[in-house]
Amino acid sequence: MSEEKNIFTQELLDRCISCGYCLPACPTYEITKDEASSPRGRINIMRAVQKNELTLFESLEQSSYCLGCRACEVVCPAGVEYGLMLEEWRDAAWQGKNRPLIVKLLLFAANRRVFVRLMGLFNLRNYKKSKQQSVSLMLGCFERGLFPGVSKSSLKVFDQVSSNPAQGCCGALHAHNGELERGQELARELGDQLPGTILTTSGGCAAHLSSVLGKDRVKEVSQYFFENEMLDSLNEITKNGKKIKIGLQDSCHLRNGLGIFKEPREILKRIGEYQEVPGAAECCGAAGSYALVRPKDSKEIVSKKISEISKLELDYLVTVNPGCQRQMQTSIKKGPKVIHIVELIEMSLQSKGSK
Ligand code: SF4
Ligand code: SF4
C-alpha cells in the first residue's frame, strides 16, 4: 500500500462526497467537459497526491488551470472548502522550478516592501491623512500602482477613513500562489499596521484578509457603504437627459468567498439604470495571477463575457476588484467605460442629477 503524504488537511479532502453538483458551476469544466478539469476531478487528483499515487509534478497542470474562483464552493451540498484545498495544493506543488516564472516575478515585487510602499507614497502623497481614524484604507500592492484613483476616491467618499501610504501587502497574492504561510503572516502584519476596521477596494484582498483577521475587522468598500446606510446620499447620474446604464462584474472571492453581491447592486440601482450582465457572477479570467500565468485560457474565459456585455449597450461596466478592472479594461476594445465602484460613487456624490 502506498504511503500517505501530509500535504492536504485530510478532513477537507474527506468532505467531498463526489456528488458532482459542482461540475456545471465550474468554468474550466464548461470549456473542456473533462472530469479532470472539474472540481470533483481536481479533488480526486489531490486525493491521489495525498495517497502517493500521483506526484505533485503530475498534478501541476490542473493546479494551474483551475481559476481559484470558488464557484464550486457555493453550490456544494457538503460544505467543501475548495479554496483552502487549492491553497494547500499550490503551497506544495508550486515550489522551486515548478513555480510559474511570472508568479516568481510578482512575488519578488510584492516582497520588496520598499518598492510597494514607495508606490503608495508617490501616488497618494497628497492624500495622507494625519489624524488617526477608526477605519483604515488598505491600498493594495498593485492597485496603488495601477489604479491610484481608486484609493483617492475612497478617501474622498468616506470622511472617517484614513490611510497610511507606507503600508505593506496583504498577502493574498502569496496565499494563492504557493506561499500560504507567508500570505497569512503578511495579513497579520497589515492588521498590526492598520488600526481598527480595514477598508479594502479589492474583493480578493477582502476575502484573504477576512480569513486571517476575521470578518469583523475587514470591510469591502461596497459592503461598508451599504452597511453604513449611505445609499440615500447617492445622486442619479444622467447622460443626454437619461439615467446612465450600468452593469457589474462580480469579484469571485467577494461573491463566493464572502457572500457579498447584493450590496454593489443596490448602490448601482441608485446611481443609474442597472442592467444585470449575463454571467456576472462567473469568473472574468483575471483570477489573481491567472491572466498572466495562462493568458490564452484567460482570454477564452473572458471572450464570452465580452460579447454578452456588448449587447447591453452600457455606459459603465463596474468592477469591485483591481484584477477584474484590469482584465475588463484590456479586453473591452469598444464599449462601456470600465470603472471601479468607488469611483462611480464619488461621481454620483458630486452629481447634481435628480434623486
Ligand atoms: S465538491 Fe461538493 S459538489 Fe463537488 S463533488 Fe464534492 S461534494 Fe459534490
Ligand atoms: S475554483 Fe473555479 S475553476 Fe477551480 S474547480 Fe472550483 S469552480 Fe472550477
24: Cβ below 6 Å to ligand 1? Answer: no
Q: Which of 13, 14, 19 to mutate to test the pocket of ligand 1 (most atoms within 8 A of CB)?
A: 19
Residue 53's CATH number: 1.10.1060.10
Give yes or no for a contact between 253 and 207, defined as CB atoms under 8 angstroms apart. yes
pLDDT at 132: 60
Q: Which of 21, 23, 26 to mutate to test the pocket of ligand 2 (most atoms within 8 A of CB)?
A: 26
Q: What percent of the chain has pLDDT over 90?
A: 77
pLDDT at 111: 77
**pLDDT higher than threshold 60 for residue 54:** yes
Within 10 A of 101 (CB to CB), how many other CB atoms are there? Answer: 10
> Which ligand is located closest to the Cα atom of residue 70?
2
Residues in Cβ contact with 325 at an 8 Å cutoff, skipping those fewer than 6 apart = 147, 150, 319, 338, 339, 340
**Kind and range of the H or E element at 274?**
strand 273-274
Give me the domain span that covers residue 180.
103-227
For the stretch 315-346, pLDDT in tens is 999 999 999 999 999 999 888 999 999 999 99
Query: Per-residue confidence at 119, pLDDT binned at 50, 70, 90?
Result: low
pLDDT at 123: 58
Average pLDDT over residues 152-162: 92
Q: Are residues 246 and 325 in the same domain?
A: yes
For the stretch 193-214, pLDDT in tens is 898 999 999 999 999 999 999 9
> Which ligand is located closest to the Cα atom of residue 18?
1
In a domain, 16, yes or no: yes
Q: Are residues 126 and 192 in the same domain?
A: yes
The ligand 2 atom at the shortest distance from the C-alpha of residue 73 is 6
Q: Are residues 305 and 239 in the same domain?
A: yes
Q: Are residues 196 and 146 in the same domain?
A: yes
Residue with cell 479594461: 329
* Least trusted range by pLDDT, from 42-46, 142-146, 212-216: 142-146
22: Cβ below 6 Å to ligand 1? Answer: yes
Ligand 1 atom 7 nearest Cα: 16
- Total structural domains in the chain? 3
Please provide the size of the chain in residues.
355
Q: Are residues 185 and 241 in the same domain?
A: no
Q: Are residues 78 and 122 in the same domain?
A: no
Between the CA of residue 289 and those of 24, 293, 296, 313, what are the distances in Å? Answer: 24, 6, 13, 29
Give 72 or 96, the one with higher predicted confidence: 72
Q: Are residues 247 and 207 in the same domain?
A: no
**pLDDT higher than threshold 50 for residue 355:** no
The last residue of a domain, from among 32, 65, 97: 97
**What is the reported pTM?**
0.90
70: Cβ below 6 Å to ligand 2? Answer: yes
Nine-digit cell string for 317: 461596466
State the sign of the Cα–Cα–Cα–Cα dihedral 201, 224, 173, 117: positive
Average pLDDT over residues 271-289: 95
Query: Per-residue confidence at 108, pLDDT binned at 50, 70, 90?
Result: confident
**pLDDT higher than threshold 90 for residue 286:** yes
Ligand 2 atom 2 nearest Cα: 69
Q: Are residues 237 and 214 in the same domain?
A: no
In a domain, 5, yes or no: no
For the stretch 232-247, pLDDT in tens is 999 999 999 999 999 9
**pLDDT higher than threshold 90 for residue 165:** no
pLDDT at 191: 94
Is residue 316 helix, strand or coil? Answer: strand
Q: Are residues 223 and 243 in the same domain?
A: no
Q: Are residues 153 and 88 in the same domain?
A: no
User: What is the distance between the alpha carbons of residues 163 and 288, in angstroms, rounded to a whole number?
Assistant: 24
Rounded mean pLDDT of the chain?
A: 91
